[in-house]
Amino acid sequence: MKHLDIREVLHSEELRGKEAVVCGWVRTYRESSAVAFAELSDGSDFERLQIVVDRAALAVDPECTKPGAAIRVRGEVVKAYKGEGNELNAREIDLLGKCPPEYPIQKKRTTLEFLRGIPHLRLRTNTFAAVFRVRSVAAQAIHRYFHAHGYYYINTPLITASDCEGAGEMFRVTTRPWNAPEKTEEEYYKNDFFGVKAGLSVSGQLEGEVAATALGKIYTFGPSFRAENSNTTRHLAEFWHVEPEIAFAELPDVLEIAEDMLKSVIRSVIEECPAELRFFDQFVEKGLIRKLTSVAESDFAVCPYTEAVERLKRAHADFRFPVEWGCDLQSEHERYLTETVFGKPVFVTDYPKEIKSFYMKQNPDGKTVAAADLLVPGIGEIIGGSEREADYDKLVAAMKERKMDLSAYEQYLALRLFGSVPHGGFGLGFERFVMYCTGMENIRDVTLFPRSVRNIM
Ligand code: ATP
Ligand code: MN
């Protein structure tokens, strides 16, 4: 269908005085005796294109005036009567698809919760269309950042046999019926598709290390799956995970890369999505633009875990979970640190080894590991990263302490036998980052079809 994007028609000065065809969905339609105005959206731009109808010259099919109806308009592009952009003086309007009054997206502002019940239509609202335009711009900016900095884009397997960290959190992959006849678990898996227990990957990191210790700098950007049995506003069963892995890098390098990447992507979002951000600033998170601008321009804070715990213990706050050295930080603690103590993004580093993964580099103190989580206001953790243990013996010792089955990690361990190098990386939860950029408070509202416990619409 030959037509132009509304984004182009709205903003192009060269098109003025020329004829253009646009397609879209009617957002509003109002008429007086002489003229009628339709606001048309095709998703390409935050702004809608105003269609002006000279009623004496053009009779409009009433179906073309209904909110939600899909139409095609041919007309002359002219400078808008009000504002900067252009509008279209209609010469011909065709109906593409009518929209009956049951259409659930109505003009009065409906709640996010109501819209969650109609995931197939909610992108037709300003809010959701804006979220997904920002999401797309952010994704492109992430790829651009890594490409420009010499990283290779790697695709790691989604089906995996390594049970690594995600013991309880792993979704199983099977072709076996629920009433399989085998009497033992071992036999059951032996007869399964892969001949062993398999599941959906919780992270591409271990395979990412394989690629990084050959290509130097790599990243993955794909889905991870976690059977989290928690119903929070920050967890999904299926989320998108950005995981760079860098050879010849130590923890401070990892922090520097994470900070530089986030700032660069935030700058892209500020540049490419001004109308979306103005909207979010006005209706979703007051001060959002100021927040993003200052984050892009100032340094993130860094705070060792031990100091973080001291600060939390001194805090005048009513935590539900008490804080002691050795405990995992709860969301309330993370948010207190980043919102109240530092008032900006903060890397918490050097966590107790007991609460972190086996592969993290052990610090000389014997108690902590070279890990770093990035906490941001409004959300808490958006990045988890570390320098990896590159010493074969130390890694094996850590795995034995955790009673892990070493035979399942022969290949991973081999990376420490053949030219082992200091290396590290991090995982960014892409949806959490989109929440941060838009101010949306529920991860379900930045995902097309969110999957979580008892929810697979
Ligand atoms: P949390 O403590 O918030 O559950 P985590 O420590 O289990 O997260 P990591 O294993 O460090 O998460 O994963 C790296 C990043 O992936 C996290 O910082 C977060 O941004 C994102 N992430 C992890 N789990 C989820 C999830 N279930 N849904 C969405 N994003 C997630
Ligand atoms: Mn983490």
Q: What pLDDT digit, counting tens, does each position of 391-416 carry?
A: 999 999 999 999 999 999 999 999 99
Quick one: which ligand is closest to 381's CA? Answer: 1
Residue labelled with tokens 């927040």: 291
Strand residues in 323-445 grouped as ranges (E): 346-352, 368-376, 380-387, 423-429
Last residue of a domain, one of 103, 134, 160: 103
Mutation to probe ligand 1, out of 229, 235, 332, 381 (largest number of atoms < 8 A from CB)? 381
Long-range CB contact pairs, 177-180, < 8 A, 24+: none
In a domain, 97, yes or no: yes
The finding on whether 432 has its CB within 6 A of some atom of ligand 1 is yes
Q: What is the mean pLDDT of residues 287-295?
A: 97
Q: Which helix (H) or strand (E) holds 27?
A: strand 19-31
Residues of the chain with pLDDT > 70: what percent?
98
User: At 25, which amino acid appears?
Assistant: W
In a domain, 185, yes or no: no
Cα 179 to Cα 397: distance, rounded to the nearest angstrom:
40
Rg (CA), the chain: 26
Range with lowest mean pLDDT among 100-114, 131-145, 443-457 = 100-114
**Whose CA is closest to atom 4 on ligand 1?**
235
Q: Give per-residue pLDDT as tens, 337-396.
A: 999 999 999 999 999 999 999 999 999 999 999 999 999 999 999 999 999 999 999 999
Cα(59) to centroid(ligand 2), Å? 61
Q: Edge-to-edge strands of the sheet including 172-173?
A: 159-160, 198-200, 172-173
Residue labelled with tokens 């109501």: 114
Q: How confident is the model at residue 285 (pLDDT cuts 50, 70, 90)?
A: very high
Are residues 75 and 146 part of one domain?
no
Q: Give per-residue pLDDT as tens, 90-114.
A: 999 999 999 999 999 987 768 999 9
In a domain, 204, yes or no: no
Model pLDDT, residue 110: 84
Last residue of a domain, one of 46, 70, 103: 103
Cα(429) to centroid(ligand 1), Å? 6
Are residues 137 and 17 part of one domain?
no
Q: How confident is the model at residue 82 (pLDDT cuts 50, 70, 90)?
A: confident
Are residues 214 and 68 part of one domain?
no
Q: How confident is the model at residue 164 (pLDDT cuts 50, 70, 90)?
A: low
Model pLDDT, residue 162: 77
In a domain, 227, yes or no: yes
Number of structural domains found in the chain: 2
User: At 219, which amino acid appears?
Assistant: Y
Model pLDDT, residue 166: 53
Q: Is the Cβ–Cβ distance between 202 and 190 less than 8 Å?
A: no
Cα 71 to Cα 90: distance, rounded to the nearest angstrom:
12
Atom of ligand 1 nearest to the CA of 228: 27
**Whose CA is closest to atom 31 on ligand 1?**
429
Model pLDDT, residue 106: 85
Asked whether the predicted pLDDT for residue 168 surpasses 80, the reply is: no
Cα(374) to centroid(ligand 2), Å? 9
Q: Which helix (H) or strand (E) holds 430?
A: helix 430-438
Are residues 224 and 82 part of one domain?
no
Are residues 373 and 281 part of one domain?
yes
Q: What is the mean pLDDT of residues 185-189?
A: 93
Last residue of a domain, one of 103, 133, 168: 103
Residue 115 CA: distances (Å) to CA of 25, 112, 125, 324: 18, 5, 9, 41
pTM: 0.97
User: At 113, which amino acid appears?
Assistant: E
Mutation to probe ligand 1, out of 221, 232, 235 (largest number of atoms < 8 A from CB)? 235
Cα 386 to Cα 357: distance, rounded to the nearest angstrom:
10
Q: What is the mean pLDDT of residues 266-288?
A: 98
User: At 126, which amino acid appears?
Assistant: N
Backbone angles phi, psi at 71, to 5 degrees: -135, 165
Bridge pairing between strands 368-376 and 152-153: unpaired
Mean pLDDT of the chain: 96
In a domain, 201, yes or no: no
Quick one: which ligand is closest to 429's CA? Answer: 1
Nearest in space to 243 (alpha carbons), one of 377, 386, 353: 386
The finding on whether 204 has its CB within 6 A of some atom of ligand 1 is no
Range of the domain at 143: 122-152+210-445
CA dihedral 409, 411, 417, 419 (to 10 degrees): -140
Cα 370 to Cα 390: distance, rounded to the nearest angstrom:
12
Q: How confident is the model at residue 167 (pLDDT cuts 50, 70, 90)?
A: low
Cα(164) to centroid(ligand 2), Å? 15
Mutation to probe ligand 1, out of 236, 330, 432, 433 (largest number of atoms < 8 A from CB)? 432
Three-state DSSP state, 234? coil
Q: What is the mean pLDDT of residues 264-270?
A: 98
Q: Give per-residue pLDDT as tens, 9-64.
A: 999 999 999 999 999 999 999 999 999 999 999 999 999 999 999 999 999 999 99
CATH, residue 267: 3.30.930.10
Are residues 126 and 62 part of one domain?
no
Are residues 267 and 236 part of one domain?
yes
Cα(135) to centroid(ligand 2), Å? 22
Are residues 410 and 292 part of one domain?
yes
In a domain, 299, yes or no: yes
Atom of ligand 1 nearest to the CA of 384: 11
Mutation to probe ligand 1, out of 239, 348, 388 (largest number of atoms < 8 A from CB)? 239
Asked whether the predicted pLDDT for residue 250 surpasses 60, the reply is: yes
In a domain, 456, yes or no: no
Are residues 70 and 219 part of one domain?
no
CATH, residue 66: 2.40.50.140
Asked whether the predicted pLDDT for residue 190 surpasses 90, the reply is: yes
Nearest in space to 225 (alpha carbons), one of 205, 241, 207, 211: 241
* Cβ partners under 8 Å of residue 75, min gap 6: 19, 20, 51, 52, 88, 89, 90, 91, 92
Are residues 144 and 71 part of one domain?
no
Are residues 142 and 23 part of one domain?
no
* Cβ partners under 8 Å of residue 9, min gap 6: 15, 20, 22, 49, 77, 86, 88
In a domain, 334, yes or no: yes
Are residues 137 and 21 part of one domain?
no
Cα 352 to Cα 370: distance, rounded to the nearest angstrom:
9
The finding on whether 243 has its CB within 6 A of some atom of ligand 1 is no
Three-state DSSP state, 25? strand
What's the N-to-C CA distance of the chain in angstroms?
32
